C-alpha cells in the first residue's frame, strides 16, 4: 500500500470515528481507535 492509500485509510478511519462518537457506539469506537492508532504508526515509518 502506498503512502497516499495509507493517508486515505487514516482519513476514512477518522471519519468513521467521528460518526461513531455521534451514535455512541462504544465498542466499535474503541475498535476503530485502535485501528487508527496502528495505521498512524505505520505512516510514521
pLDDT tens-digit readout, 1-45: 788 998 899 899 888 888 888 888 888 889 989 999 999 998 886
| Per-domain boundaries in the chain | 3-44
- How many Å is the Cα radius of gyration of the chain? 11
Q: Are the C-beta atoms of 39 and 10 separated by less than 8 Å?
A: yes
Task: Give the predicted TM-score (pTM) of the model.
Answer: 0.70
Alpha carbon distance 34, 14 (integer Å): 11
Amino acid at each position: 500500500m502506498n503512502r497516499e492509500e495509507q493517508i486515505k485509510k487514516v482519513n476514512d478511519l477518522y471519519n468513521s470515528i467521528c460518526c461513531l462518537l455521534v451514535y455512541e457506539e462504544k465498542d466499535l469506537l474503541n475498535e476503530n481507535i485502535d485501528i487508527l492508532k496502528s495505521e498512524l504508526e505505520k505512516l510514521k515509518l
